[in-house]
Structure 1
Amino acid sequence: MKDKIGTIQSLMIKEKRETEWILTDGFEEVALETKNNEVPTGEGNQRLDVFLYLNRKGRVQATTTIPSIRKDQFDWAEVVEVMPNLGAFVDIGIDKEMLVSKDDLPLYESVWPKAGDFLYVSLDVDKKGRLLAKPATEDLFTNEDFLSASTDDLHKSVIGRVFRASKEGSVILTDDGYRGFVHHTERKEEPRLGQEVKGRIIDVKSDGSVNISLRPLKQNSIKEDAEILMTYMDANEGMMPFSDKSDPEEIRATFHISKAAFKRAIGHLLKENKVEQKNGKTYVVDNK
């Protein structure tokens, strides 16, 4: 029955063999996973709906615990362990955790999920015959799979999870069922795949999807960004080789903020007489 792993099958109870109950489809047999050697419901030629998977010994096993995640059926699964050379293991509700291969995770391990994150996955069998969990990709969805936001949702706070991570931006599924996109300029760092994020809707698209910012509102962001600049200068002898004339890409690469946000933060510090600029550099006033 190895070709049926990851699916639900209706099998007959055949017999108890030593410590195992044996099920059959009339041609092949499979052992039923039972706890404390309990007797399954139904006896002799009665049927059970079971889920088939490969146990830790690589043997096909049946369980009456039916997971919501199966072949071609997606749901969120909690990450329970991450192993750099393998990938991430997720709990789908049965005795064995399922592996999400490193080949299906982002290139950079810094945005791999951590234990406690959740991945939106289904099950699939790889070329080696292993039953694996596969993260959802955007091409599997249509607009009908998401709820449509309205202009009334503009500026509202949202919570969601990342189901695609990239340098260009993060795609999230919000708790409200919206498809959200976080452009890389609207986040200070790239969220992990499966990470829960909190943000606000900054645009509602014609297809009902939304653009989301993970950055605080400007009035809050200015002080936060100013603190980042001061921390940098304190760690570098009271100076940074940047000014409001510096290259935008160099600013973003160093501080993970836009040049506009950088200039607002510098303006705030200049107004408070905490810094001064000279020859393309910025100095803390007390440490000239």
Structure 2
Amino acid sequence: MIQIGEYNTLEILRDTQPGLFLGDSEGNEVLLPNRYVPEHFEIGDKIEVFVYLDNEERIIATTTKPYIKNGEFAMLRCNEVSKYGAFLDFGLVKELFCPFKEQAFPMKKGGWYLVRCYIDEKTERLVASSKTNRFLDNTNLTVEQFEEVDLIASHPSDIGMNVIVNNIHSGLIYKDNIYQDISVGDKLKGIVKKIRPGNKLDITLGQIGYRSIEPNADKILEELKDNSGFLPYNDKSSPEDIKDALEMSKKSFKKAIGTLYKQKLILIKEDGIHLNQH
């Protein structure tokens, strides 16, 4: 079955005036317009295309990769607002429609918004919603404590940054676990630090416990190499200076330089840490 809003690998059936007709194993067909036809092809070749409905509601294929597909979240720019809703640029000739009822806040031309792409059941069209929370569910968790997860920064709060976890769940990174600038829509890697009552997920950007030592130690080594073997930070440096310079907590920094010192890779002095050149 040809899936709207998805990438489909289809067979080239015939070459016609408007373009190539492609088909699946069930006898379904879709047109690939001439502007997307590859320079070299043969009847019977397989080709990967994205399928959607064009401005006239006809099913159509394209070799252009959109910025978002069905079931995904992404930051998109609003090209226009009409009396029906907003039209977002998602990388194709046709724009992605976001009805007013699906806007968490009124969209404005030129603004960027985190949206979820889905198929409207009535029209079978791809549409967008910036009410992202309604697509997230923590009832049955698919993650465990200490598991690495994919994150999308969703929206800030007074206590941290809300995140979308593995495209399915909602989570929170507390302010004291944020050591870098994060903007809505940023894609990050994180760790499930804790699962609280109600299946609420506490997320950390750094790795936990002993897992954090080696990556942070590697980072400090790279910083030393990039700064002629010296960094003006040690045990006496303020947490704020370490956070600003190295994007890690002072606790993680102390563990990392302790590891490097034991391995005789660095020297710790009054003015900072030095790469051991011997």
Interval of TM-score (by shorter of Structure 1 and Structure 2) = 0.5 to 0.7
Cα pair distance change 1:273/1:207, threshold 3 Å = same
Percent same amino acid at aligned positions?
A: 18
Which of structures 1 and 2 has the bigger CA Rg?
Answer: 1
Distance 1:152 1:175 in 2: 9
Counterparts in 2 of 1:82 and 1:282: CA distance versus 1, 3 Å: farther
Is residue 251 of structure 1 aligned with residue 251 of structure 2?
A: no
> Map of 1:254-269 to 2, 5 A cutoff?
254-269=245-260
The SS at the match of 2:197 is coil
Q: Give CA deviations for 1:38-79 in whole Å, capped at 9, x if unaligned.
A: xxxxxxxxxxxxxxxxx9xxxxx65366xxxxxxxx964666
Alignment correspondent of 2:17 = none
Are the aligned partners of 1:104 and 1:134 in contact in 2 as well (CA < 8 Å)?
Answer: no
* Aligned-partner residue type, residue 57 of structure 2: T
Deviations 1:158-184 (A, max 9, x none): 334333368964322234732111235
- Cα deviation for residue 98 of structure 1 reads 5.6
| Alignment partner, residue 14 of structure 1 | none
Alignment TM-score, normalising by the size of structure 1: 0.51
- Deviation at residue 240 of structure 1 after TM alignment: 1.2
Which residue does 2:209 correspond to in 1?
218
TM-superposed CA distance for 1:247, in Å, is 0.3
Paired with 1:264 and 1:82, the residues of 2 have a C-alpha distance of 46
Is 1:120 the counterpart of 2:116? The answer is: yes
Note the aligned Cα RMSD (angstroms): 4.4
2:262 corresponds to: 271
| Cα displacement (A) at 1:243 | 0.5
Calculate the TM-score normalised by the size of structure 2.
0.53
Mark the CA change 1:217 to 1:88 in structure 2 (over 3 Å): closer, same or farther: farther
**Distance in 2 of aligned mates of 1:234 and 1:167:** 37
Alpha-carbon offset, residue 220 of structure 1: 3.5
Q: 1:135 aligns with which of 130, 133, 156?
A: 130
Which of 63, 79, 90 is equivalent to 2:57?
A: 63
Q: Does 1:95 align with 2:90?
A: no
Structure 1 gaps of 5+ residues are 1-33, 37-54, 56-60, 66-73, 106-117, 123-131
Query: Is the CA contact 2:150–2:165 (under 8 Å) kept in the aligned structure 1?
Result: yes
Shift of 1:266: 0.9
* Structure 2 alignment gaps of length 5 or more: 1-30, 34-53, 60-69, 80-86, 99-106, 119-126
Q: CA deviation at 1:153?
A: 3.2
Matched positions, count: 194
How does 1:143-154 map onto structure 2 within 5 Å?
A: 146-148=137-139, 153-154=144-145
Give the secondary structure class of the aligned counterpart of 1:286.
coil
Q: Could you tell me how far 1:200 is from its partner in structure 2? A: 2.7
